């Protein structure tokens, strides 16, 4: 039995999600999986990370190790994957999604925070939707991993921060959550809460083996969500939310429901639309919805990208 080498970043969130997929694969295929720690430039230098444009750095470093044959595969937060294809790399599996919602971490629910409360987030999508919920908030741009962000609340620098519920679960910090946002209030980022498993596209045998942890419903849902992002030519730094679910009743045709929004950073204007269809048409559903968003002025709203605390 071959030992599969799983390349992973060394952060707690990365090793937890890699370890989880390693266990799932061992259980289902009988293969041993060895975690191989990879240090990326983004891990070494914060300055470098800002310069090189965020999480793409981590994804690219792991992809390089896959292409060179140093490791066999990698696990990424799907939300951090660029929407375009990567030369020589295949998305071998999309694991069944964890809770996709955003969570408020602080001493109280959003409605109970004081007027003008300081709420930290680095994501324009969260900024726009937070301001739509509470126009009086002082939304503060922040960086760093989830632990660093949570510490800003304990230190009193901020009243609260918004983070992905799934990520908080992976680092064992659900204790910090004061409210989970319903997607009606705050649409998650495309792919949020789902894990992507990538390997070399010329290793069909391996891709097939990794495919044992693929969940077709999650794959269809995130395909629809990410197609919206791709058509809008937006990245993870755009004020775009998208969330799809697949209803798969035994007796009738399965159905994919997709909702997406584009919001101005001041939270005052937002376009939010929904569509449904067969999961096999996920890409088409995403493309059509993006076209409708654009027809309603999405590109103009996305143009206003600067975070200006008010």
Ligand X SMILES: NCc1[nH]cc(CCC(=O)O)c1CC(=O)O
User: Is residue 225 within 8 Å of residue 196, measured between CB atoms?
Assistant: no
> Which single residue is written with the structure tokens 């983070």?
163
Annotated catalytic residue: which of 80, 99, 215, 248? 80
Does the active-site annotation cover 101?
Answer: no
Pick 22 or 209: Cβ nearer ligand X: 22
Check: CB of residue 37 under 8 Å from CB of residue 18: no
Strand duo 73-77 + 195-200: pairing:
antiparallel
Minimum CB separation of residue 48 from ligand X in Å reads: 17
Catalytic residue among 9, 63, 79, 101: 79
Is there a catalytic annotation at residue 200? no
Q: Which of 10, 27, 109, 143 is catalytic?
A: 143
Q: For ligand X, which is the closer residue by CB, 63 or 79?
A: 79
Catalytic-role residue among 65, 125, 152, 219: 125
80 in catalytic set: yes
User: Among this protein's residues, is 9 annotated catalytic?
Assistant: no
Q: Which is nearer to ligand X, 209 or 224 (CB)?
A: 224
Minimum CB distance to ligand X smaller for 164 or for 176: 164
For ligand X, the closer CB: 71 or 171: 171
Closest CB to ligand X belongs to which residue? Answer: 167
Q: Is 125 a catalytic residue?
A: yes
User: Is the Cβ of residue 196 or residue 246 nearer to ligand X in the bound state?
Assistant: 196
Smallest separation (angstroms) from ligand X to the CB of 149? 8
Binding site for ligand X (CB under 6 A): 55, 77, 79-80, 146, 163-164, 166-167, 192-193
- Residue 131 Cβ, how far from ligand X at the closest point, in Å? 18
143 catalytic per annotation: yes
Catalytic residue from among 9, 101, 149, 170: 149
Known catalytic residue at 149: yes
Least Å from the CB of residue 280 to ligand X: 25
DSSP string, the chain: -PEEEEEE-SSHHHHHHHHHHHHHHHHHH--EEEEEE---HHHH-HHHHHHHTTTHHHHHHHHHHHHHTSSSEEEEEGGGS-SS--TTEEEEEEPPP----EEEESSS-GGGSPTT-EEE---HHHHHHHHHH-TT-EEE---S-HHHHHHHHHTTS-SEEEEEHHHHHHTT-GGGEEEE--TTTSPPPTTTT-EEEEEETT-HHHHHHHGGG--HHHHHHHHHHHHHHHHTT--TTSSEEEEEEEE--SSS--EEEEEEEEE-TTSS-EEEEEEEE-GGGHHHHHHHHHHHHHHTTHHHHHH-------
CB of 241 to ligand X, least distance (A): 12
Among residues 97, 126, 200, 219, the one annotated as catalytic is 126
CB of 40 to ligand X, least distance (A): 14
Annotated catalytic residues are: 79-80, 125-126, 143, 149, 236
């Amino acid at each position: 039995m071959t030992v599969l080498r799983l390349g992973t970043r060394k952060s707690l969130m990365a090793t937890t999600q890699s370890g989880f997929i390693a266990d799932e694969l061992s259980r289902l295929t009988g293969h041993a999986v060895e975690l191989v720690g990879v240090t990326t430039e983004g891990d070494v230098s914060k300055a470098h990370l800002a310069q090189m444009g965020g999480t793409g750095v981590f994804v690219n470093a792991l992809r390089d190790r896959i292409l060179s044959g140093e490791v066999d595969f990698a696990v990424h937060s799907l939300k951090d994957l660029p929407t375009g294809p990567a030369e020589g790399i295949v998305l071998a599996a999309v694991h069944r999604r964890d809770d996709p919602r955003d969570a408020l971490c602080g001493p109280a629910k959003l409605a109970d925070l004081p007027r003008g409360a300081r709420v930290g987030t680095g994501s324009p999508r969260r900024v726009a939707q937070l301001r739509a919920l509470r126009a009086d908030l002082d939304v503060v741009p922040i960086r760093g991993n989830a632990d660093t962000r949570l510490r800003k609340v304990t230190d009193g620098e901020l009243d609260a921060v918004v983070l992905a519920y799934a990520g908080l679960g992976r680092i064992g910090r659900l204790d910090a959550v004061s409210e989970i946002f319903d997607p009606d209030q705050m649409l998650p980022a495309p792919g949020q809460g789902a894990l992507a498993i990538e390997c070399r596209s010329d290793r069909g045998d391996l891709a097939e083996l990794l495919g044992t942890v693929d969940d077709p419903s999650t794959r269809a849902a995130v395909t629809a969500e990410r197609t919206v992002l791709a058509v809008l030519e937006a990245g993870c730094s755009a004020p775009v939310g998208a969330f799809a679910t697949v209803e798969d009743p035994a007796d009738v045709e399965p159905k994919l429901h997709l909702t997406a929004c584009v919001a101005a950073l001041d939270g005052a204007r937002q376009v939010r639309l929904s569509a449904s269809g067969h999961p096999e048409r996920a890409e088409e559903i995403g493309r059509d919805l993006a076209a409708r968003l654009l027809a309603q002025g999405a590109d103009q709203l996305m143009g206003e990208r600067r975070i200006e605390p008010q």
